[in-house]
Amino acid sequence: MIGSSKIGLRPIRGGGGGAAPNPDFVSTWDTTQAGSASDTIVLPMTAGLTVHWGDGNSDTTNTHTYASSGTYTVTIEGAVTTFRFNNSGDRRKITDVSNWGGFDISNNRIFLGCSNLDISATDYPTITSSTLEWTFRDCTSLTTPDFNSWDTSSVTNMYGMFNSCSSFNGYLDSWDVGNVQYFGINQNFRGMFNGCSVFNQPIGSWDLSSAIRTDKMLANCSAFNQPIPFNTSNVTGATQMLYFCSSFDQDISSWDVNQISFFGGNFMTGTTLSTANYDALLIGWDAQGAMANSSTMNFGSAQYTSGGAAETARTSLIAKWGGIVDGGAA
């Protein structure tokens, strides 16, 4: 028999003029998915918090076996600070987070590999540390959560946060990312949206003035086509940043690029700017003078206007970089 219950979901606490926010972490689990023993849920956290398992049972353990397989709503009381899948355990059984409550999402790789997870919660988790590395990597069912209310002002590392989230198109344009910078090759914006093939939300207001590495940040985001007038004045590495962003056609001529020494050969491979935007890029970037980059630049199939300022700028940049791969003259 297939079971389904929401017994574990307790009323929102509150009083007076209105209900207070629900302080509990509420999630949905499908016991038929691969993981631990059949009809069993193992929460990836230290035992000790009160857990309402959604079938009328409650205890302070982190493991529960149900009488029948099905979908259950699990409610955890209090501050949830040790929860972390890291691509193991019952990561495929969790299917939704409907309330964050006292959940602390500050550890890295918390939901890594949760391929059936989506998030319907409208509140926000606690962020007490500086890293969100690989938080949702490989969460291929994550769709359009609204993360705009998250306070990310203390975060310094968003490496691979949504990497390979192929269904993700969530909202996060109001995030404060001004402290995300470089403390090592895997501590930055590197690969943040890599493989988010349907992602196409505005992030142009983000403050990247502290960012040093943006490698693969938007690589393989084939639907992305939003203005990104980033402050790149401190960026030194941007290899494959717009790699195979096949829909992208925006003006990035204002980017400060003369200090970027690591563009690699695939900065915009698979991406084709319009002639107008490519002309503007060539002219704007050449005007910045000497360049730290010394490798051939790849601008996909973009074509420039021949016989004018764009062609002159292209010739100058070739001398500075050593070569340009593009679609030639229009």
Residue 10, pLDDT above cutoff 90: no
Spatial contact of 253 and 276, defined as CB atoms under 8 Å apart: no
Between 309 and 263, the more confident residue is: 309
pLDDT of residue 7: 33
Residue 14, pLDDT above cutoff 50: no
pLDDT of residue 106: 87
Judged by DSSP in three states, 320 sits in: helix
Cα 139 to Cα 114: distance, rounded to the nearest angstrom: 5
pLDDT of residue 5: 37
Spatial contact of 152 and 176, defined as CB atoms under 8 Å apart: yes
Cα 101 to Cα 80: distance, rounded to the nearest angstrom: 9
> What is the residue whose two structure tokens read 């574990």?
8
* Nearest CA-CA partner of 165 in 199, 203, 189, 190: 199
The neighbouring-strand residues paired with 131 are 157
pTM as predicted: 0.90
Residue 2, pLDDT above cutoff 60: no
Contacts from 249-253 at CB under 8 Å and sequence distance 24+? 249/225, 249/273, 249/274, 249/277, 250/225, 250/226, 250/277, 251/227, 251/277, 251/280, 251/281, 252/228, 252/277, 252/281, 253/277, 253/280, 253/281, 253/283, 253/284, 253/285
Cα 178 to Cα 16: distance, rounded to the nearest angstrom: 38
Structure tokens at 112: 């890594």
198-248, pLDDT tens digit by residue? 999 999 999 999 999 999 999 999 999 999 999 999 999 999 999 999 999
Per-domain boundaries in the chain:
1-105+115-123, 130-248
141-164, pLDDT tens digit by residue? 999 999 999 999 999 999 999 999
Q: What percent of the chain has pLDDT over 70?
A: 92
Cα 139 to Cα 142: distance, rounded to the nearest angstrom: 6
Q: Which pLDDT band, with edges at 50, 70 and 90, does 8 fall under?
A: very low
* Nearest CA-CA partner of 300 in 230, 219, 211, 228: 219
Cα 115 to Cα 246: distance, rounded to the nearest angstrom: 25
40-86, pLDDT tens digit by residue? 999 999 999 999 999 999 999 999 999 999 999 999 999 999 999 99
178-207, pLDDT tens digit by residue? 999 865 566 689 999 999 999 999 999 999
CB atoms near residue 271 (< 10 Å): 26
pLDDT of residue 184: 56
The neighbouring-strand residues paired with 3 are 70
pLDDT of residue 310: 98
> What is the residue whose two structure tokens read 């389904």?
4
Query: In Å, how far from its chain's centre is CA 137?
Result: 8
Between 193 and 262, the more confident residue is: 193
pLDDT of residue 183: 54
11-25, 89-103, 297-311: range with lowest mean pLDDT: 11-25
Q: What mean pLDDT, rounded, does the chain reach? A: 92
Cα 258 to Cα 298: distance, rounded to the nearest angstrom: 16
pLDDT of residue 93: 98
Mean pLDDT, range 167-172, rounded to an integer: 97
